[in-house]
Structure 1
């Protein structure tokens, strides 16, 4: 029986995850030449090149990526089984999550996770786009991606945007619309939300991969086009739009999960929000669903999601 050279597999996984022969050598406590030798042995056995090497740049080939996806779960299961037998369950877990969700919703809640599971070691990988669903990226994901074979998906949150501004800008709106009281302003905007077009609007590129699309859809639900006279302040990311609104640059459309009632730095205007059509999912490898760290994190996130603001 022609057995796979098993010693090469942890080396391959380390090089692929770290994207570096030298970093893998440090992690494995061996020489870089030993790492190179193991990779050559595996490539010769498979009859395939696993990496593209161009100077200092290292990248998995298509075959290398497929092979890594296929063996990662097995390597993790071996490690998990070994740790369980030794009485040392794995407590470290890598979570890939969108940057705005991490900063405004997840991180403020982490002290509670630490209190409930003091031995859980969480590494957070922030992403501006949807992360690749792979063990080499993370162990657990919060993403709008919803379909990949071998992964488990649980709905966490349906995205909705609504208009907000700072307290200072709120006073500007109130004065310009000639409303003396908060009740008058709320009634006026509730009856005629298109009045927002008279003010500076803050738009984020990251949601729809283009500027002003967020506001175009907001106005579309009112069945009116964006007035040509609107002044826009353009930002690449929703986090920047949030900060711009906080500093009184205008009115922004933000997610409800970004609103922290304790901080009270932004005011939600009395206008309807709109659903973007995206759903956030809790995602992990189906084969890893019984791992202690994954079970604890999944359970905690589902409970915390029940506390998302309801406006």
Structure 2
């Protein structure tokens, strides 16, 4: 093996970038979309890398790929090397501290970013992070924002868009209501909390929860707080609901989780403006943080759901 590697030139950046992206996303197709190349180009780069290394990095199925044990180990090394290179590049900029301005939706900031802010800062040493909370459509240049996280199906003009994590939904209730919900027929009488920003959210469960009183509230934070107070059954939306489930303030009711068809996306400046080491380090840190969460399941199917990212300027687009 040593003799083999001694004859191998250092893997090219294109091959390593293709491997890291495909390994992180578990998809050649999504890697091609993120890197703006063809799927065959991704496959070619990874095949070449496998030939150079003399090992298989992926198990290829009919419609899916899976990292081999060697591939998983190599991915961790490549990602760490990527972080080290970014940090080394930052150190050459002549400043011990760099600024990263992040715009996040209010509910996402409250229920996901703030509980994980320490972990995010650990991934960005030497970076001063400023977090701005807004539900408005973002203009990265006008608003002087480096990175924004927005909600929808991934359609956003004049900027780079990278998938961060998907949204999964299921009914939840406070512990006492969840215990009572086990009684046959009682579910039809329980008050239902309706999020006015997601009027269609109860459709998959309307047969079970369609008979009770409906309490309509404007946003996810209000819905979750009302559910925690035992005022009714709500639709829990991952990742918002995860901390409340872990703290046993809410419990998941029987039934499968369902993808909403929407998710959260990282928006960054198009062109060279988005290629700065600080922005790239911030994106890498956010992707790594989301990938470490058990809620980052299957990707949002392209073209499904109702995009909230292309509304006229001034409208709100947060859950």
TM > 0.5 fold call: yes
Q: What's the counterpart of residue 138 of structure 2?
A: 132
Report whether the alignment pairs 1:237 with 2:219: yes
1:219 corresponds, among 205, 211, 215, to 205
- Rounded to whole Å, the distance in 2 between the matches of 1:134 and 1:300 is 19
Aligned-pair CA distance for 1:244: 0.8
Report whether the alignment pairs 1:289 with 2:274: yes
- Secondary structure of the residue that 2:181 maps to in structure 1? helix
Equivalence map 1:17-32=2 (5 Å): none
Q: What's the counterpart of residue 197 of structure 1?
A: 188
Equivalence map 1:107-186=2 (5 Å): 107-128=114-135, 130-137=136-143, 138-144=145-151, 146-174=154-182, 177=183
User: Across the two proteins, how many residue pairs are aligned to each other?
Assistant: 202
- Rounded to whole Å, the distance in 2 between the matches of 1:148 and 1:199 is 39
Q: Which runs of 5+ in 2 are unaligned?
A: 1-89, 298-319
Aligned-pair CA distance for 1:269: 0.9
Q: What's the counterpart of residue 50 of structure 2?
A: none
Report whether the alignment pairs 1:88 with 2:95: yes
> What are the Cα deviations for residues 134-153 of structure 1, in whole angstroms up to 9, with x where unaligned?
22322211113534444111
Change (3 A) 1:201 1:225: closer
Equivalence map 1:10-89=2 (5 Å): 87-88=94-95
- The CA RMSD over aligned residues, in Å, is 2.8
- Rounded to whole Å, the distance in 2 between the matches of 1:219 and 1:169 is 17
Aligned-pair CA distance for 1:251: 0.9
Aligned-pair CA distance for 1:156: 1.3
Aligned-pair CA distance for 1:282: 1.0
Change (3 A) 1:86 1:162: closer
Report whether the alignment pairs 1:102 with 2:102: no
Q: Which has the larger radius of gyration?
A: 1
> What are the Cα deviations for residues 20-55 of structure 1, in whole angstroms up to 9, with x where unaligned?
xxxxxxxxxxxxxxxxxxxxxxxxxxxxxxxxxxxx
Change (3 A) 1:246 1:283: same
Aligned-pair CA distance for 1:195: 6.3
Change (3 A) 1:197 1:99: farther
Aligned-pair CA distance for 1:279: 2.5
- Secondary structure of the residue that 1:294 maps to in structure 2? helix
Q: Give the TM-score taking structure 1 as reference length.
A: 0.58
- Secondary structure of the residue that 1:264 maps to in structure 2? coil
Change (3 A) 1:291 1:86: closer
Contact 1:96 1:131 in 2 (8 A): no
Report whether the alignment pairs 1:276 with 2:282: no
- Secondary structure of the residue that 2:239 maps to in structure 1? helix
- Rounded to whole Å, the distance in 2 between the matches of 1:101 and 1:164 is 18
